Structure 1
């Protein structure tokens, strides 16, 4: 090879050496850049990047608080909040792990295709509930070890007494908002105020550090009702037994404390369990004692007589001729079940004479009878301030025809709730003073200081009515089944045909009894209504009075109210001993 050829072909060893150095140079440059960038991040940009990283993990989460407890007057819980856990997911995370999602859906007993569809529709969200308010043990089993599935602590409302007091207490929805009863009326008082706190979560959603409390949680206020659960259970059991025995459509009963106006028991049938509300008939949730109205029939007669006595038209010596057991008003007959002849006022109540009550009603101007009925609380709300409470119906006197005027005297042409009727009888028991009803326990001192009562019936008239109503429960009256050994009881029965658009039904009745105990020093008033009894009688004295007798006898014993008819009690004991 000549010199010219050597110059055209450089040394291959030298060429490869140069290329090797070039690669090393490039790699060293890249390494220097990485080191420089790392130093910049760690030293110059450290605070900024640290802040950005933390912000991507910091979350403001809700601190749950529990709703206020509802209790009876002695602290027995009627509505409490129990801790539960709700299962939620981050759709973007869980959709990357379908096998785990399938197991979660199976444990929660959800439909897998529907769940997948729902999560895909909400894929842009970070928080989606799968199922709410599970028992904590089950919720932990569902979420444990599964990325993208988390738990949130909530509180679930539980009602220990179930259907026994459901119409009073009501219930809340899944978000703890009151929907019925005291839960609704006192929503603002009972509701909790959830708090907020700022935390750092790890990639699995677990809280790894508490940063700060943004807003403190505040639990709801407790509420003490006026209900005495001992009496509530007894009243409920007695009403259910009566409804079943008489194959009735429905029924209600209310027990009042005469001195304070507190409602000690309020029961209805049919009822419902607020802990299990799926597929329930809405009619079962109605508090019939306040919402349902009916024509009271003869239970209104004491107030017809009281209105006339208050105006000086009659007194204890007055006589009413009811012969021959009927009379005509504008072509319509008003009848008694038999000819009672001449009766005194007590006899009109004792025999429950429609003729006598109508003649007394017609002796007054329509305006005067109407005004008295209004004063006794008919056609007015009871004052309980309950959802959907009915004020009943009492038409203005200017709209009355003569027949309306006459039938008002024995309880047709107006409608009342059983609570209104109980309140009216409390006027008689309270010496003619109206009382303010309450489903909330009243403090004794506040009852004295704040309860403003007005006389709507003369005390002398109220006392006379008590004497007459005692005779109704006596051996010659219509309410012998309301009698309680050892106690003087005053009360009145009522039996009314049910009205429809086509007139009064011949075979459907309302059976009513309202009574006061003990008559010598009234403490309690109870009113009972049974709707459409179809077996074993339909008269108020046979259907409703026994419910009063059972509940009131237990109430007098439980509340330690002394007997006021000891001679009769001793005579009864002696008769039993002789019979034995």
Structure 2
């Protein structure tokens, strides 16, 4: 190339007419393409251009490599974000069932269909603009006109059972505006409250929602979700708990907030799936592209609860609570042979399908959360400590004269002077004096060691959220008043579940079967905590409590031998000491006493009509246990009473 340039220069091929007339430059040097300096300048200029071109090409290649090879995934993901999105696919929450597989909590599929007047109007004006601006495309105009005709609000109103007048009002379509004027269209679009969301169908079945969503109507959106439903709400509300919004979920999902729903949240919830969906320019989902993560449905949780007994227990607790004008009442039924909780309920309750009824008081599972001084229901364990010490037998006589005893300046009394009594009479008449004499005759830790042995002072194996552990503190030797009060159920704290577990161990012949609420739980091993003969002798002593002369004749059941113990204790005054006019009534019973199968414990807090457990909670035990024995076909162990003709 440069040879040709040199040859052309020599031939004057690049010399202009002007240069032919004036071969000298303004500096007196030769000018024009024919000069040697001009050739060198052109060669350098071409070289510079080629270098620049090659550098630019190299930069373009490097940029293309960076975009398409080195960082291709990043930009591909960015592009995908414009046309796709990842949608969470909510997993189906598992059911909670009773021991007979009857549903106690289920997730019902529901849908909400809403209408956006803003989106509808925007689509309406856009279709009209396309029709007006494309007269040369009759096929396009025909398609757009058909879509416009299908946007008749009368069709939507009929499907959603809503006034067409209301729909026209919220969409506020103005056919007089210039749809080609973007500013005019924007000003005409609905704005303000309700312009983007108008509910058409709220929490309906998917089948009902389809009557509207299948219209493929612009501005109509469907949201599918699951709502928890409780078929038997009041008897189970404190046990099952409830669902609450998960604040850490960006999509506003729900999670178990109390009870079984919370305790087994992981098992019930499962894992949500993720689906890649294609979006249109308005960010509406068009179709599912692929499943990114599979949805894993939650597992069902089967409880040991018998919903028949649960309902019966709740109704009896409610009846007694209302009759006695009490603060609240609670109770449990336990299978002696397995430790399974067959019923556990509290009154007052709330409708777990309507959380507006829930308060801080009626949502508490009293049998598991609340701790209290149990009173005389602890006396069988004082007798157990006496028998275990070897100093006492079932027939050992204890002098309770004159019906009271002074301990460290305090007077401990019985209701009457019982005189010389044995262990059976101690339980039958609920003697505080005899219990005190036993406690003071034993080492300081004898009573508390026996109480701990039966599970007091520790949470039960139920692991229920918020469950109370109670408190058992061993007194020092000189703390004689505390040693005395512990023997008849004061000076310690317990839950009703601990009382039920302890009585179940007595009924099982001294074997502790840990309590359980679910059928799938891995049961903790049972352990013997007392000799069989001693445990059964205490059960036999407690039979006298429900017989004539005992404190709980109202707990007796025709055809069955029933063992039990009442407890009437004063309520603690937060300001110090005890109330003189407020009581707590507890009854713990075992049936049938000859071959124990079921244990029932009942509690009424602050009854205002009657104050003794034999009159308030013993009848509750009678009514519930009679039906429980019938439901489980437990054989009679006592002749039925004959009715005189």
TM-score, L = length of structure 2: 0.72
Residue equivalent to 1:23: none
- Structure 2 partner of 1:5: none
- Contact preservation (8 Å) 1:291, 1:390: yes
**Is the Cα contact below 8 Å between 2:568 and 2:613 reproduced in 1?**
yes
Provide the secondary structure at the position in 2 that maps to 1:328.
strand
Q: Which residue number corresponds to residue 549 of structure 1?
A: 622
Match of residue 22 from structure 1:
none
Distance 1:216 1:343, change over 3 A: same
Alpha carbons of structure 1 residues 456 and 58: separation in structure 2 relative to 1, 3 Å: same
RMSD: 3.3
Which of 519, 526, 529 is the equivalent residue of 2:600? 526
Question: Residues 49-198 of structure 1 correspond to what in structure 2 (within 5 A)?
Answer: 56-86=82-112, 93=119, 134-136=203-205, 147-174=218-245, 175-198=253-276
Is the Cα contact below 8 Å between 2:427 and 2:542 reproduced in 1?
A: yes
Structure 1 pair 75/317, CA: closer, same or farther in 2 (3 Å)? same
Q: Which runs of 5+ in 2 are unaligned?
A: 1-76, 126-152, 171-189, 246-252
Tell me how far apart the structure 2 counterparts of residues 193 and 530 of structure 1 sit (CA, whole Å). Answer: 42
Aligned partners of 1:422 and 1:193: how far apart in 2?
A: 37
> How far does residue 236 in structure 1 lie from its aligned partner after superposition?
0.7
2:396 aligned residue: 318
The separation in 2 between residues aligned to 1:287 and 1:400, in whole angstroms, is 38
By how many angstroms is 1:133 displaced? Answer: 7.0
Question: SS of 2:356's equivalent?
Answer: coil
User: Is the 1:366–1:405 contact (alpha carbons within 8 Å) kept by the matching residues of 2?
Assistant: yes
How many residues align? The count is 504
Q: Indicate how the Cα distance of structure 1 residues 461 and 222 shifts in structure 2: closer, same or farther if over 3 A, else same.
A: same
Secondary structure of the 1:440 match is coil
Query: Structure 1: how far apart are the matches of 2:120 and 2:442?
Result: 80
Q: How big is the shift at 1:85?
A: 2.1
Listed as ranges, the matches of 1:388-399 within 5 Å are 388-398=466-476
Closer/same/farther in 2, CA of residues 411 and 545 from structure 1, 3 Å limit: same
Distance in 2 between residues matched to 1:336 and 1:94, nearest whole Å:
83
1:562 and 2:635 matched: yes
Distance 1:170 1:556 in 2: 28
Change in 2 beyond 3 A, CA 1:203/1:140: farther
| CA drift at 1:270 | 1.3
Q: CA deviation at 1:199?
A: 3.3
**2:533 — aligned with what?**
460
CA shift for structure 1 position 520: 0.9
Please name the residue that 1:266 is paired with: 344
Q: How far off is 1:194 after superposition?
A: 2.1
1:252 aligns with 2:330: yes
Aligned mate of 1:488, from 545, 561, 565: 561
1:70/1:80 contact within 8 Å kept: yes
Shift of residue 463, structure 1, vs aligned partner = 1.4
Larger of the two Rg values belongs to structure: 2
Q: What is the distance in 2 between the residues matched to 1:163 and 1:322?
A: 47
> Any conservation in 2 of the 1:157–1:176 contact (CA below 8 Å)?
no
Decide which moves more: 77-86 or 247-256: 77-86
Give 1:348 shift.
Answer: 0.8
Residues 372-424 of structure 1, C-alpha deviations (whole Å, 9 max, x = no match) = 11111111111110111101121233498211110111111112111111111
Q: Give the unaligned 5+ runs of structure 1.
A: 1-50
Matches within 5 A, 1:283-294: 283-294=361-372
SS of 1:334's equivalent in the other structure is strand
Alignment correspondent of 2:510: 432
Match of 2:298 among 220, 226, 241: 220
Q: How far off its partner does 1:156 sit?
A: 0.8
SS at match of 1:165: helix
3-state secondary structure, aligned to 2:417: coil
Residue pair 1:64, 1:194 contacting (<8 A) in 2 also: yes
User: Secondary structure at the residue paired with 1:230?
Assistant: helix
Give 2:179's aligned residue.
none
Q: Deviations over 1:174-222 (max 9, x none)?
A: 4231101111000111103222223335568776544322222111011
Residue pair 1:434, 1:456 contacting (<8 A) in 2 also: yes
Match of 2:27 in 1: none
Offset of residue 117 of structure 1: 6.1
Structure 2 distance, partners of 1:198, 1:442, is: 36
